[in-house]
Homo-oligomer: A and B are copies of this chain.
């Protein structure tokens, strides 16, 4: 859970990051400097249900990799866990080799935020039209230039990505936006969720999505929703790379 962290990746400062906590714990355990590389640079406050890292260094331990999760458990806070570990080839890169990633954005949609969902979903007290949101989501699927759905000021060589699926469902009082793509631009999922929420509120219609995309203009899309609703849900590698 990312609530306490300034994102995954350590910057050139002393901020608490998931990478820093992992690295300190692993270096202490293995007694050697390690290079930790993550599959994604998640933002401050964002959660990850699944996340892959590699660990490289002069490790002389004879502990089998599959025993690392249990062995490391006492050295990690309860909001970070190593769920599994395995050996990979030296050419494996957790970020460059992902086939696709799936995110979910949780919107708690009832007048008063239920404490069970506090810090774990964004609270939208206005009733949302989930069917309209799902219809709008369908327009995002496919290979598009998503410049309109990227945080302004980001620098990237190409803003073209392929969304494999994007849908919106209701589970009790939660409205959940699910989206998978070969890659995501900065803040893209939070802007997608914000744009779909505008549709859910009736401020725009599903049929307006193609024109928003075609504009390549961030200002035409909806707001960037806050990090507490965002989950990196699944990271998928080609089958021959990782089981």
A residues in contact (CB < 8 Å) with B: 1, 47, 49, 69-70, 73, 78-84, 111-116, 118-119
Contact = CB atoms under 8 A, between A and B. Distances in A.
Contact of A70 (B47, B84, B112, B116): B112
Contacts of A84: 112
A2 to B, nearest CB: 9
A49 B83 contact: no
A115 B78 contact: yes
Given A47-B116, A116-B1, A116-B47, A111 B70 contact: yes
B70 A113 contact: no
A14 to B, nearest CB: 23
A84 B110 CA distance: 11
Contact of A112 (B47, B82, B116, B119): B82
A73 B115 CA distance: 11
Contacts of A1: 115-116, 118
Contacts of A69: 111-112
Contact of A81 (B79, B81, B82, B112): B112
B78 A112 contact: no
Closest 8 CB pairs of A and B: A78-B118, A79-B115, A1-B115, A69-B112, A83-B112, A81-B115, A81-B112, A49-B116
Contacts of A116: 1, 47, 49
A81 B123 CA distance: 13
A39 to B, nearest CB: 17
Contacts of A49: 114, 116
Given A1-B115, A1-B116, A70-B112, 15 more contacts: A1-B118, A47-B116, A49-B116, A69-B111, A78-B115, A78-B118, A78-B119, A79-B115, A80-B115, A81-B112, A81-B113, A81-B114, A81-B115, A82-B112, A83-B112
Contacts of A73: 112
A43 B133 CA distance: 41
Nearest to A82: B112
A115 B118 CA distance: 15
Contacts of A47: 116
Contacts of A70: 111-112
A159 to B, nearest CB: 32
Contact of A78 (B79, B80, B111, B113): B113
